[in-house]
């Protein structure tokens, strides 16, 4: 899941306008950023199976990014960072910490929905969970699209963004939904695990930067 995580971040952005939605998008995608970085470091792994062209599902060993225990740890770290930093947000830091925690942990919950039972509860070799909705790809993509539309409908009204930025943010979200759908249906298998990891990491960085820029309202800069 990719665009669906962004939909959740947009919905959370409605709760506290003082938090840049790009930071919430980064929170919602954080476990994947850790995953791709750890794959490049050789600490986690992804296998591209022979039937990838039919299923579009890679096989992951990812206890430190996508294990339940690890996800709880990353969630606590995100909340702690939000509490300690952001002096500018002192009045709302508890709310900001809750939002970052929700963004990071929502990733694990949504991934459990779509992944096959490959998400460990503890470390490597522990019991794994996963409801496998990606085996019913059309339904999975409908859920993902609903999350994006729901997020946009919640976030945009009252965001204070200019009309141009609102349109660009909606366009970017829908383009990433299309990108996700193509990636899960007709895209060819990636040439290698490290190429998949490097291109995914780059994509995440660009996406977070774009949402950070588009999510900055003019009035926030003047304040």
Alpha-carbon distance of 80 to 172, in angstroms, equals 30
Tokens of 162: 């200019």
CB within 8 A of 32, min separation 6: which ones? Answer: 2, 5, 65, 107, 200, 204
Task: Please report, as residue ranges, which positions from 150 to 169 form the binding site for Zn ion (by CB under 5 A).
Answer: none
Query: What would the DSSP string read from start to end of 156-220?
Result: STT----HHHHHHHHHHHHHHHHHHHHHTTTPPPPS-HHHHHHHHHHHHHHHHHHHHHHT--HHH
- Rounded to 5°, the CA angle 200-178-183 comes to 45
Q: How many residues does the chain have?
A: 223
The distance of closest approach from Cβ of residue 2 to Zn ion in the complex, given in angstroms and rounded to an integer, is 8
Closest CA to 59 of 222, 154, 196: 196
CB 55 within 8 A of CB 49: yes
Q: Which is nearer to Zn ion, 16 or 118 (CB)?
A: 118
* 111 is an interface residue for Zn ion by CB under 5 A: yes
Q: Which is nearer to Zn ion, 28 or 92 (CB)?
A: 28
Place of tokens 């470390």: 123
Q: Which is nearer to Zn ion, 32 or 44 (CB)?
A: 32
Tokens of 199: 């291109």
List the one residue from 13, 32, 177, 214 that touches Zn ion (CB under 5 A).
Answer: 32
Q: Which is nearer to Zn ion, 56 or 95 (CB)?
A: 56
Question: How many residues of this chain interact with Zn ion, rule: CB under 5 A?
Answer: 2
Candidates 84-92, 109-117, 134-142, 191-199: pick the segment binding Zn ion (CB under 5 A): 109-117
The distance of closest approach from Cβ of residue 144 to Zn ion in the complex, given in angstroms and rounded to an integer, is 13
Q: Which is nearer to Zn ion, 83 or 198 (CB)?
A: 198
The distance of closest approach from Cβ of residue 127 to Zn ion in the complex, given in angstroms and rounded to an integer, is 19
* 144 is an interface residue for Zn ion by CB under 5 A: no
* 44 is an interface residue for Zn ion by CB under 5 A: no
The distance of closest approach from Cβ of residue 66 to Zn ion in the complex, given in angstroms and rounded to an integer, is 6
Alpha-carbon distance of 153 to 7, in angstroms, equals 10
The distance of closest approach from Cβ of residue 124 to Zn ion in the complex, given in angstroms and rounded to an integer, is 17
The distance of closest approach from Cβ of residue 86 to Zn ion in the complex, given in angstroms and rounded to an integer, is 25
Q: Which is nearer to Zn ion, 44 or 111 (CB)?
A: 111
Binding site for Zn ion (CB under 5 A): 32, 111
């Amino acid at each position: 899941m990719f665009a669906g995580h962004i939909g959740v971040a947009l919905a959370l952005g409605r709760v506290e306008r003082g938090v840049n939605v790009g930071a919430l998008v980064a929170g919602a995608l954080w476990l994947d950023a850790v995953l791709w970085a750890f794959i490049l470091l050789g600490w986690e792994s992804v296998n591209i199976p022979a039937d990838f062209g039919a299923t579009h599902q890679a096989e992951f060993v990812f206890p430190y990014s996508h294990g339940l225990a690890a996800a709880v740890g990353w969630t606590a770290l995100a909340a702690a960072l939000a509490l300690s930093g952001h002096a500018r947000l002192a009045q709302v830091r508890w709310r900001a910490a809750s939002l970052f925690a929700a963004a990071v942990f929502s990733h694990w919950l949504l991934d459990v929905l779509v992944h096959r039972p490959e998400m460990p509860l503890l470390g490597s070799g522990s019991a794994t969970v996963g409801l496998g909705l990606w085996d019913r790809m059309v339904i999975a993509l409908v859920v993902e699209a609903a999350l994006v539309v729901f997020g946009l409908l919640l976030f945009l009204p009252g965001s204070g963004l200019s009309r141009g930025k609102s349109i660009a943010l909606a366009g970017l979200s829908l383009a990433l939904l299309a990108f996700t759908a193509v990636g899960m249906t007709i895209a060819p298998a990636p040439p290698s695990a490290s190429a998949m990891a490097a291109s995914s990491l780059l994509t995440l960085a660009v996406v977070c930067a774009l949402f950070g820029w588009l999510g900055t309202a003019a009035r926030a800069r003047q304040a």
